[in-house]
Structure 1
Amino acid sequence: MPALVVFDCFGTVVTELTPMPEAPELARRLAASLELPAATAAAVLDDLIGTLWTALTEPAAEQPASRLLLARILDEHGVSADAAAVDRTLWHVLGPDDGRFRLCAPAAEAMVRTAAAGHTVRMVSTCYLPGDQMRRLLAGLGVPDVLDACLFSADGGPKKPDPRAFAAVGVGDFTRRVMVGDTPHNDIAPARELGWDTVQVDPAAPDFTPLHALLGI
């Protein structure tokens, strides 16, 4: 029977070559994008990252939608920005324009192989960029176009390791669900508690042979 196979994004399909830039650099980008004074940009960034970090570090907390959050914070600081400016700023501040990311080739091969065998392939990601920008990032990196659906936490709502996130990405008439990820506490343990099969990947030496063996492909 075909299975549902859900891939984590960062650390599994997408390799992070360098950490996120420090706050001063992010504030500089924000100031440049919206033509803000440095002090205003720093205050906006502090509220944005602080709110997101609070949500991300509390397992049961829902993550606010990045677009709505940034728009609200800008308004609170007296900054007028239309939807296009908010989108541009999110991408410029938090996107991959600094070459931080690279596609994990073994993961890409595993995704293609899994889909070719008739299994449904999806992705779940805890992220800062909203869904359409995440898809832009993935396409730019060359992630295979085999994803049936994705759950990006920056669109707002529950995120890993919340069981509701797994329930949302795992919806459908499947007799078997498999989670493929690199983080024990965010990817593997919560999926296993829900009765999913799991495959843990080491970002330093990605090997998807256990997934192939599990699926018999």
Structure 2
Amino acid sequence: MPAAVVFDCFETLIMSPPLPGPETFTVRLAEVLTLDERCAARAVETVYAHVFAAMSDRSALQPPIIGLLESALREQGERRSEADLEKALWHAHGCTDADQYELCEPAAAAMRRAADAGHTVRLLSNCFLPGNLMRRLLRRTGVPEVYDRALFTADGGPKKPDRRAFELIGEGAFERRVMVGDSEELDIAPAAALGWDTVRVDPRAPDLTGLLTLLDL
């Protein structure tokens, strides 16, 4: 019977060096939004503080990133459109850098094979880009558009390893669910605790034969 096969995004489907730190984020935010750097720094500090607090508490919901940034700027008397805020986040996260993100070909190939075999493919990612920007990044890096649903935590809501995130993305009449990811703590252990099959991907040497074997592909 077809399974639900859920892929993590970063370091599983997309490889990338560490994201820019607060200082680089601040500079890029100031550039795109034409802000004083002190104002941008205060906004970044506010956003990072809220996100860090949410990430430090496994059961806390992740707040929507766009809402956090808009609120942090508004407190300083700065108002920007959602389109401008998205442009700033895209730039600040290095999405305009040619070498920041790269497709993991073995994972992409396994994703295609699972979908071609009739399995339902989905995505679950702890991230800091809102869903529409995540989809844009996935398209740009060449991730196959064979998934029927995605949960991107930057839109707000439960995040890994919260079981609610897995329950949401695993909804449906499936007898079998499989989690594919690189993190034992965030991907593998919580999925296994729910009775899912799991396949761990080593970003340094990605090998998806375990998934193909599991699905008899």
Which interval holds the TM-score relative to the shorter structure? over 0.9
Give the total of aligned pairs: 216
Partner of 2:82: 83
Partner of 1:5: 5
Partner of 1:188: 188
Partner of 2:166: 166
Contact 1:71 1:81 in 2 (8 A): yes
d(CA) in 2 for partners of 1:81, 1:106: 40
Structural mapping, 1:198-217, within 5 Å: 198-217=198-217
d(CA) in 2 for partners of 1:84, 1:117: 38
**SS of the residue 1:123 aligns to:** strand
**SS of the residue 1:60 aligns to:** coil
Contact 2:65 2:154 in 1 (8 A): yes
Stretch moving more, 4-13 or 43-52? 43-52
Contact 2:188 2:199 in 1 (8 A): yes
Give the CA deviation at 1:67: 1.1
d(CA) in 2 for partners of 1:7, 1:188: 11
Consecutive unaligned residues of structure 1, counting only runs of 5 or more, are none
**SS of the residue 1:124 aligns to:** strand
Contact 2:182 2:203 in 1 (8 A): yes
Q: Which runs of 4+ in 1 moved over 3 A?
A: none
Give the CA deviation at 1:50: 1.7
**SS of the residue 1:205 aligns to:** coil
d(CA) in 2 for partners of 1:63, 1:22: 19
Q: 1:95 to 1:21 in 2, by over 3 A?
A: closer
Give the CA deviation at 1:164: 0.3
d(CA) in 1 for partners of 2:41, 2:190: 36
d(CA) in 2 for partners of 1:127, 1:104: 17
Stretch moving more, 48-57 or 183-192? 48-57
Letter in 1 for 2:27: R
Contact 1:9 1:123 in 2 (8 A): yes
d(CA) in 2 for partners of 1:101, 1:56: 23
* RMSD of Structure 2 on Structure 1 (CA): 0.9
Give the CA deviation at 1:95: 4.6
d(CA) in 2 for partners of 1:85, 1:180: 34
Partner of 2:101: 101
d(CA) in 2 for partners of 1:38, 1:44: 10
d(CA) in 2 for partners of 1:34, 1:96: 16
Structural mapping, 1:130-169, within 5 Å: 130-169=130-169
Does structure 1 residue 14 correspond to structure 2 residue 14?
Answer: yes
**SS of the residue 1:133 aligns to:** helix
Under a length normalisation based on structure 2, what TM-score does the superposition of the two structures give?
A: 0.97
Contact 2:15 2:203 in 1 (8 A): yes
Does structure 1 residue 25 correspond to structure 2 residue 24?
Answer: yes
Give the CA deviation at 1:57: 2.2
d(CA) in 2 for partners of 1:86, 1:118: 38
d(CA) in 2 for partners of 1:113, 1:168: 24
Deviation readout 1:15-66 (Å, 9 max, x if unpaired): 11x2112222111111111111111111111111121122122211100011
